[in-house]
Amino acid sequence: MRYREALGLALREEMERDENVFIMGEDVGVFQGAFKVTAGLLEEFGEKRVRDTPISENTIVGMGVGSAMAGLRPVVEIMTINFALLAMDQVVNHAAAIHYMFGGQVKVPLVVRMPQGGGHQLGPTHSHSLEAMFLHVPGLLVAVPSTAADAHGLLKAAIRDDNPVIFIEHEALYGRKGEVEEGAEPLRFGQAAVRREGEDVTVVGISRMAVTAGAAAETLASEHSISAEVIDPRTLRPLDLDTIIESVKKTNRAVIVEEGWPHGGVGANLAALIQEQAFDWLDAPVLRVTGADVPMPYSKPLEQAAFPHEEHVVAAALASLGRDS
């Protein structure tokens, strides 16, 4: 099934499993979601559990925080990650901190779903990749699934978790198909996936860039006889650093690929961690492939130039091996 359908299946299964699970957000009900993830849920579960809201992100997330504190398990949809900036007070000062402020007496089992990423000519206010902002905040869990199966399994895990979860989907992945087992058990947070085993260089891809990294690995193998190991972290908090470090110890090289900006990004964090914990195994500097350090352009050619593609990953892997081709 498609990535969007896998997310919808996870929502349906968890709502059937637990009557405390409900959905709210802009256009999640009658319109069935901006990206059709919530299609059919209003008809199945009714307005009490699939709630359309006004256009007020701070209010939506605040209601989610309050209802989670009261014992419900809200799944809040923000129409795009850029709009989540309007709710950062609720996310950072409340959702992430309340459990600690009250000495563990109160839990906030809240999921905030949001899409991100470029490629659809939606301009800078709809197209950025801001996972690093949420990764920075203690008290939050952060998921970035790249496959339909992971979207299904991680969303189920997020809904059952007693911590607030920032669940980041990629707009370009919604139509991507993959095998999904209905009724499958939730995936465990903090468990990376080795998408492709290799010996020469470790390539870590974040969100959609895990798919891009996989395509680059195929090109490296077929055209350059280079064996790249591709790792998809799947969750950034908690992070399965052990799997990444073990891979780097084997390959002695690392390339990190993300769509977000270079300064203070996920790749910068990972590069520092690899440098700290695997320095003696590195035969080359840790390299990063990132989005351009600009607001996302609307122009299609400029937008395509503003985020990484397969050839950029191939070039970085070759560079880490001291090769031009």
What angle separates helix 148-160 from helix 3-17, to the nearest 10 degrees? 30
> Is 126 designated active site?
yes
Quote the strand ranges of 36-190, DSSP E: 50-52, 73-77, 111-116, 141-143, 165-170
Give the three-state DSSP class for 58: helix
> Is 57 designated active site?
yes
Q: Which residues contact 313 (CB under 8 A, 6 or more apart)?
A: 203, 212, 213, 216, 255, 257, 289
List the catalytic residue out of 5, 13, 94, 126.
126
List the catalytic residue out of 26, 57, 131, 303.
57
CA dihedral 177, 179, 180, 185 (to 10 degrees): -140
Task: Report the distance separating Cα 314 and Cα 227, nearest Å.
Answer: 12
Task: Report the distance separating Cα 218 and Cα 226, nearest Å.
Answer: 9
Q: Which residues contact 46 (CB under 8 A, 6 or more apart)?
A: none
The answer to whether residues 151 and 211 touch, using CB atoms and an 8 Å cutoff, is no
Task: Pick the closest to residue 255 from 325, 205, 191, 196 (CA basis).
Answer: 205
Active site residues: 57, 126
